[in-house]
Amino acid sequence: MISVVACMEATCELSDPQASEALGKRIATQLQRGDVIALFGDLGAGKTTLSRGVLRGLGHAGPVPSPTFTLVQHYATDDLSVAHFDLYRLTSRDEIFELGLDEACHEGAVLIEWPEILDDALPEERLEVHLSDAGNGRSVRLVARGAWADRLSTLTI
């Protein structure tokens, strides 16, 4: 099937963990109910660090632990509820729906680490964040699909 969803890409360098958090904070300024952020990258690429930045940007001051073992962490910030998933340990797609992905998308925004297992079940409108090693820091490729395409320029300044 031919996709008619607009798609824009941008890349930038994140020299340290603070830069990863700062990108998360910029994403937070654009985040709305129903938004899906898909975080790709190898073990230790910085997916949780960037997610922490998103939550800090939304005003959450408490801990933002990795959801590797709990599979999902829920947050209620002043403006938005956020569900932070980590699908690394899942072996079947059905489990993620049992974890409440659809409900979370309706209630607020979702951040998904290791989204590969969802494949074509990922909503077509989404922001993909692809993190990879670059020296001591990280490089990030942002792929903005649908409404995110219009918001992309505000993320890379």
Ligand X SMILES: Nc1ncnc2c1ncn2[C@@H]1O[C@H](COP(=O)(O)OP(=O)(O)OP(=O)(O)O)[C@@H](O)[C@H]1O
Instruction: Write out the residues near Mg ion by the rule CB under 5 A.
Output: 47-48, 66, 113
Tell me: does residue 20 bind ligand X (CB under 6 A): yes
Strands 109-113 and 7-14: unpaired
Q: Give the chain's end-to-end CA distance (angstroms, integer).
A: 34
What is the C-alpha separation between 101 and 20, in angstroms, rounded? 25
| Residue 59 contacts which entry, ligand X, Mg ion, none (Cβ below 5-8 A, type-dependent) | none
* Pick 1 or 62: Cβ nearer Mg ion: 62
What is the C-alpha separation between 38 and 35, in angstroms, rounded? 10
Tell me: does residue 17 bind ligand X (CB under 6 A): yes
| Residue 34 contacts which entry, ligand X, Mg ion, none (Cβ below 5-8 A, type-dependent) | none
* Pick 30 or 66: Cβ nearer Mg ion: 66
CB neighbour list of residue 120: distance below 8 Å, 6 or more residues apart: none
Binds ligand X by CB under 6 A, chosen from 113, 118, 142, 143? 113
Binds ligand X by CB under 6 A, chosen from 4, 43, 61, 157? 43
* Pick 4 or 43: Cβ nearer ligand X: 43
CB burial readout 47-64, b (16+ within 10 A) else e: bbbbbbbbbbbbebeeeb
Number of CB atoms found within 10 A of residue 146's CB: 18
Binds ligand X by CB under 6 A, chosen from 24, 31, 35, 47? 47
| Residue 43 contacts which entry, ligand X, Mg ion, none (Cβ below 5-8 A, type-dependent) | ligand X
Reported as type and span, the H/E element at residue 107 is helix 101-107
User: In whole angstroms, how close is the CB of 113 to ligand X at the nearest point?
Assistant: 5
